[in-house]
Amino acid sequence: MTGVQGELRDRIVGSTAHVYVSKSTGGIVDYEADVAKLRQLPQVTGAAPVVSGPAMIAGSGRQGFITLKGIVPRFEQSVTRVAQSMQSGAIEDLEPREGEMAGIVIGDKLARRLGAFFGDTVEVVTPHGPITPFGGTPGIRRLKVVGVFKLGLLEFDEAYGFVHLDVAKRLLDKDHLDAIELRVDDLFQARQVAESVPEHLGPEYTAQDWAGMKQSLFSALALEKLAISITIGLIVMVAALNIISSLILLVMEKTRDIAILKTLGSSAASIRRIFIFQGLVIGLIGTIGGAVLGTLVVLLADRYKLVRLPVVDVYEFSYVPFRLEPLDFITVVSSSVVICFLATIYPARQAAKLDPAQALRYQ
């Protein structure tokens, strides 16, 4: 679960920004000034303006709905991994050129569904078009596919199209930005950066971090991990019951020996320590053996991709990634040892309370 959660997080934060900054009044108009200010914030490594809206795309007789995202290529490269995920073309080709058709970059799944690839032409239809005497009409524009990307998330690869910011403004009939995307050097500090944005830009600015936007997804993953932890805990409890029963049987078998030790002067505390030590030895051997075996399984399963996934339509995982976190390792091992220790207390107390006279009466 740690590997799956980490893989999902890496793909999501690679496809989207760490922080989204928006303005509650009037929208963001002078984005270059705001981008320059946001770049000066501690831990911020990139900032990019964005305009987005719904649209319909058609090509080769097929059509589908997409989210149209207007970007400035030189800024977007510092925020997301779209530029590094290009399978054909380049994101820089979105820059408008005199006398040439405007370009669009689409995901590989969308390209296959439309039958439109690098160099082909598609039609993009938006709800906002020219005003006629009969009212508003949809906006229709032909765009050239200048690139195809693959980010590894169905949400983007099948339903996103990137165009230049100026093209998106005209298609979506917007004169201001929807947001400014930020990337930070430590994604776990994104919330602190988001909270500091209003202090630097003003109270009319609001910011939201990636964890808050994907909270439901990561909450579900955390719940699954908790359920697995409870299951493992129950398995360890069953093993602890085996230790308890083994020690109780051992006390019954060694009743005469315990009585002789007490007759020779051994204290109840020393008898108790003997059985606690024996139980701990059993627990330590099992825990260490299990930890070594588990670590080997994790390393081999991740290296050789042993657990394959037949269904890869959602997140495109071809195999289950395994990741061993030091904190998880320490928590599991220490918890197992503690449970084994607790399992020795009752049998050890029973052995310590043994009355030598009663034990040797019929010997």
DSSP secondary structure code for residue 220 in this structure:
H
Six-digit token string for 293: 């075996």
Stated pTM of the model: 0.76
With beta carbons less than 8 A apart as the criterion, state whether 11 and 151 touch: yes
Q: How confident is the model at residue 316 (pLDDT cuts 50, 70, 90)?
A: low
End-to-end CA distance of the chain: 57
pLDDT of residue 140: 87
Tens of pLDDT, residue by residue over 241-298, are 998 999 999 999 999 899 999 989 999 999 999 999 999 999 999 999 999 999 999 9
With beta carbons less than 8 A apart as the criterion, state whether 94 and 103 touch: yes
Please report the sign of the dihedral spanned by the C-alpha atoms of residue 36, residue 41, residue 45, residue 50.
Answer: negative
Query: How many whole angstroms from its chain centre is CA 174?
Result: 33
